[in-house]
Amino acid sequence: MPRDYFRGRVEDLRALFSAIRSRGLEPLGYKVRGDAVYFGPLNSFELLPLDLEDLQAPGRYRLSRSPSGFFRHSSSSPKHWFHPPTQRVLEVSEAFEVEVEQEGEYPIALFGVKPCDIASLEVLDRILKNDDSYWSRRSRVALVVVEECTVPGATCFCGSTGTGPSASRGYDLAYARLGNGLVFFKYGSEVGLRLIGELGLARASEGEVAEYEKAMSRAREATSHLPQLQEVSKALERSIANEEFWKEVSSRCVGCANCNMVCPTCFCTEFVDYLEPSGRARRVRQWFGCLSYTYGQVAGMHYRPELYMRYRHFVLHKFLFYPKQVGLVGCVGCGRCVTWCPVGLDIREVVFKVVARYGG
């Protein structure tokens, strides 16, 4: 068993980062900006939140310095880079010449990205790959390095959705930071195995493998809150027609759409045209959350005029509609919608209420 696992230290992560940059890849990952951590280009290894710990709870997010540096996840996800909040689609000059936004060709490496965020890209792939030409950024990912979560956060429930805390697919190399300074490596592709060889990492002993597996077992147990997902889907389908029930569970929602903005799999957008005084015009695509009032407003009517309808749609889409549409659950259990909700509305509690009333 130990032949597939390797041991190292933080210095080996630095060497791995340098090896990736020497290949001409642009690393993308989590980095600190102000009092939060966000996803974006990594110009330096020092930008990684290796000495930070994020304290999360419903409606609460705080960063603190910690030698252990058990960082969970960022305020923004890879969606912010591959499917950005605002994107110029085209521009029209005064002479009515159309300039279409072009994407670059440089290859990308995802570095230290959490398993739940990797899983979110798989969900978005199935939705956007064939219908969205701007999703081509995703095809430039040449290497994926995952950081597994040995100490998940209080709002994480990736164990329930099967998207963490350990990496199971979609990666070249994965590492986990253990409390004694040990960094545990495993590979998911031949490219990852070659990188391990270049780093000169030693094989992990049976005792070290046991320590790693014990840590991951604790993490899975800590993030496995929800009922079985098939049971959740069936219960949600039975609940759709009960307006009073959904008014009750959504009564604290203020319709701010924060959950849409931070969710790594929400993808809805709208197009807005801007005319400048010079005569130039530009068309911009921007995120549009289904919790927003104007989302359901069309000519002559509004098909979700009440807030409970919009919140119901959000929950149904994640656990009922996504599986039917693309074969994957639309929630990856990252917990961002819980952390960044200003009133601390917890989707886990909502799911439990649905199953308690409509399960079985």
pLDDT tens track for 227-283: 999 999 999 999 999 999 999 999 999 999 999 999 999 999 999 999 999 999 999
Domain ranges of the chain: 2-82+104-222, 229-266+289-358
| pLDDT 10s digits, 173-232 | 999 998 778 999 999 999 999 999 999 999 999 999 999 999 999 999 999 989 999 999
Q: What is the mean pLDDT of the chain?
A: 93
2-to-108, 172, 209, 358 alpha-carbon distances in Å? 30, 18, 6, 46
Contact assessment for residue 28 and residue 111, using Cβ atoms and an 8 Å cutoff: yes
| pLDDT 10s digits, 114-171 | 999 999 999 999 999 888 888 877 788 899 999 999 999 999 999 999 999 999 999 9
Contact assessment for residue 28 and residue 229, using Cβ atoms and an 8 Å cutoff: no
Q: Determine the angle formed by the axes of helices 347-358 and 229-239, rounding to 10 degrees.
A: 70
In this prediction, residues 100-124 reach a mean pLDDT of: 90
**pLDDT > 70: what percent of the chain?**
98
Per-residue model confidence (pLDDT) at position 1: 35
> 98 - beta bridge partners?
92
